[in-house]
Amino acid sequence: MERENAWKRYTKEDLEKLERINLGYREFLDTGKTERECVAKTIKLANEAGYQNLADLIKRGESLKAGDKVYLAYMGKSIVLFHIGTNPIEQGMNILGAHIDSPRIDIKQNPLYEDTELVYLDTHYYGGIKKYQWVTIPLAIHGVVVKKDGTVLNIVIGEEENDPVVFISDLLIHLAQTQLEKKGAKVVEGEDLNVIIGNIPLKEEEKDAVKKNIIRLMKEKYNFEEEDFISAELEVVPAGKAREAGIDRSMIMAYGQDDRSCAYTSLIAMLNKKEVETTACVLLVDKEEIGSVGATGMQSKFFENTLAELLDRMGIYSELTLRRVLANSKMLSSDVSAAFDPTYASVFEKKNAAYFSKGIVINKFTGSRGKSGSNDANAEYIGEIRRIFDEYHVAYQTAELGKVDQGGGGTIAYIMALYGMNVIDSGVAVLNMHAPYEVVSKADLYEAVKAYEAFLSE
Ligand code: MN
Ligand code: MN
């Protein structure tokens, strides 16, 4: 079952659409490097597309009907969008769900220290990373600092052309003989991901003079005190913009494409829909990379609560209606797959691998070993998805995440399946997944939008 390279069949019109989508995607990546930034950007795009804030409607006691479009953000880190269809919602919704958190390096609560007149921020990494990839590259700091009085300072350092960047040092090759004998996982250890942020001392100070100067600068620029780190969420991410990659410009290289390549494509498929028969829903959630935990992760009840609020506004809320809507819904868990990498071919099984430019990837199993932790979508449901994708001329392929005993990974699919709904993982293939700069094919991004639009049209 060989699949064709999607570029081969594109018309001029396809190529124009493809480039437009990828331009918007790069912009989304540049302005959304954290879950909070992605939610803010989503709200902006949703407002422009005529969506209303469900929280406002609840406050005003307004009701909802077919054709209405609403969103509800949760703690600024997750967001749900609904487009109410003409069919009874009890028959179920079409749901697209992606995550907007990405692997990164978080700043600790008590991070600031000086050693030998260099000032550092101590960190704790978030999600699965190869730590040695994060040293010696330009890094930016994104996030919020919440003062005791509730004031929120939004911070972005390292993205403007004239901004300074920060970085993590690595041992020079000349002295690295012992280091290079270590295993890959130990070459750079978690506790050594210390971000260097300064070296100029305050003239009149003896002890910790560089640190005091940094504190002075932060106070001046941001009204930020050292104690404020306690209630800050600062994320260290690769600095700089998303770029086209390849001399033929066939790919996008950027930070955070797991899973923003699926989040963006799901979102614009939703926003592009003028009308729907089946109620459409897009879920963009936090914390997937650390097990979907916390109030803003998929294991939280926020989605169920939001749906209950929606049904209440529609005047049809009951516990039974809520259960029926959930159980009758169908979902594409929009999450990325590992792209086949010929340089590391031995970890893949070639017949069941995802390839660049062969379209959106359907993944029946995620999980690991004997399918532990997998979602294992039903054959009946996959049959339906095949029909939809073929009907709408979507290029698609099926894959597993590497060889059977080689490793594994999870998504939010199994959590949504707990409601008794049909769910399958489907998303964009990524090279260098979880590295500071990941790569996707522009064609796959285009096919993902087509696939998600087709799914919401059913
Ligand atoms: Mn993912
Ligand atoms: Mn991931």
Contact 412, 219 (CB under 8 A): no
Q: Which CATH superfamily is domain 104-238 in?
A: Aminopeptidase i, Domain 2 (2.30.250.10)
Which residue type is seen at 91? Q
Give the number of the ligand closest to the Cα of residue 438. 2
DSSP state, residue 166: B
For 239, what's the count of Cα atoms within 13 Å in the CB-facing half-sphere? 20
Centre of ligand 1 to C-alpha 446, Å, is: 18
Tell me the two tokens of residue 375.
């979602």
Give the number of the ligand closest to the Cα of residue 335. 1
Centre of ligand 2 to C-alpha 203, Å, is: 46
Centre of ligand 1 to C-alpha 366, Å, is: 11
pLDDT tens across 79-116, in order? 999 999 999 999 999 999 999 999 999 999 999 999 99
Give the number of the ligand closest to the Cα of residue 337. 1
pLDDT at residue 66 greater than cutoff 80: yes
Contact 306, 74 (CB under 8 A): yes
CA 357 to chain centre: 21
Give the number of the ligand closest to the Cα of residue 412. 1
Centre of ligand 2 to C-alpha 266, Å, is: 17
Centre of ligand 1 to C-alpha 254, Å, is: 15
Centre of ligand 1 to C-alpha 314, Å, is: 33
Centre of ligand 1 to C-alpha 363, Å, is: 12
Which residue type is seen at 242? A
The string of DSSP letters for 173-214 reads GGG-TTGGGS-HHHHS-GGG-PEEEE-PPPTT-SSSHHHHHH
What is the pLDDT at residue 318?
98
Centre of ligand 2 to C-alpha 229, Å, is: 27
Centre of ligand 2 to C-alpha 434, Å, is: 6
Centre of ligand 2 to C-alpha 412, Å, is: 11
Centre of ligand 1 to C-alpha 99, Å, is: 7
Tell me the two tokens of residue 428.
């964009």
**Range(s) for CATH 3.40.630.10 in the chain?**
6-102+255-457
**Range(s) for CATH 2.30.250.10 in the chain?**
104-238
pLDDT tens across 132-183, in order? 999 999 999 999 999 999 999 999 999 999 999 999 999 999 999 999 999 9
Give the number of the ligand closest to the Cα of residue 261. 1
Q: Which CATH superfamily is domain 6-102+255-457 in?
A: Zn peptidases (3.40.630.10)
CB atoms within 10 A of CB 452: 30
Centre of ligand 2 to C-alpha 289, Å, is: 5
Centre of ligand 1 to C-alpha 288, Å, is: 7
Give the number of the ligand closest to the Cα of residue 411. 1
Tell me the two tokens of residue 127.
């999600």
Centre of ligand 1 to C-alpha 261, Å, is: 10
Instruction: Please give the backbone phi and psi of residue 55, each rounded to the nearest 5 degrees, phi first.
Output: -60, -40
Contact 382, 362 (CB under 8 A): yes
Centre of ligand 1 to C-alpha 352, Å, is: 19
Dist CA 199 CA 352 (whole Å): 52
What is the pLDDT at residue 409?
81
DSSP state, residue 300: S
What is the arithmetic mean of pLDDT over 422-450? 98
Give the number of the ligand closest to the Cα of residue 435. 2
pLDDT at residue 262 greater than cutoff 80: yes
The secondary structure element, H or E, covering residue 393 is none
What is the arithmetic mean of pLDDT over 117-134? 98
Give the number of the ligand closest to the Cα of residue 289. 2
What is the pLDDT at residue 298?
96
Centre of ligand 1 to C-alpha 397, Å, is: 18
Centre of ligand 1 to C-alpha 345, Å, is: 21
Give the number of the ligand closest to the Cα of residue 102. 2
Give the number of the ligand closest to the Cα of residue 129. 2
pLDDT at residue 365 greater than cutoff 90: no
Centre of ligand 1 to C-alpha 335, Å, is: 5
Give the number of the ligand closest to the Cα of residue 99. 1
Dist CA 309 CA 262 (whole Å): 26
Centre of ligand 2 to C-alpha 433, Å, is: 7
What's the CA dihedral at 407, 410, 413, 414 to 10 degrees?
90
pLDDT tens across 193-244, in order? 999 999 999 999 989 999 999 999 999 998 899 999 999 999 999 999 999 9
Q: Is the peptide bond before 259 cis (omega within 30 degrees of 0)?
A: yes
pLDDT at residue 1 greater than cutoff 80: no
Which residue type is seen at 28? F
pLDDT tens across 370-393, in order? 888 888 899 999 999 999 999 999
Centre of ligand 2 to C-alpha 129, Å, is: 9
pLDDT tens across 3-52, in order? 899 999 999 999 999 999 999 999 999 999 999 999 999 999 999 999 99
Give the number of the ligand closest to the Cα of residue 262. 1
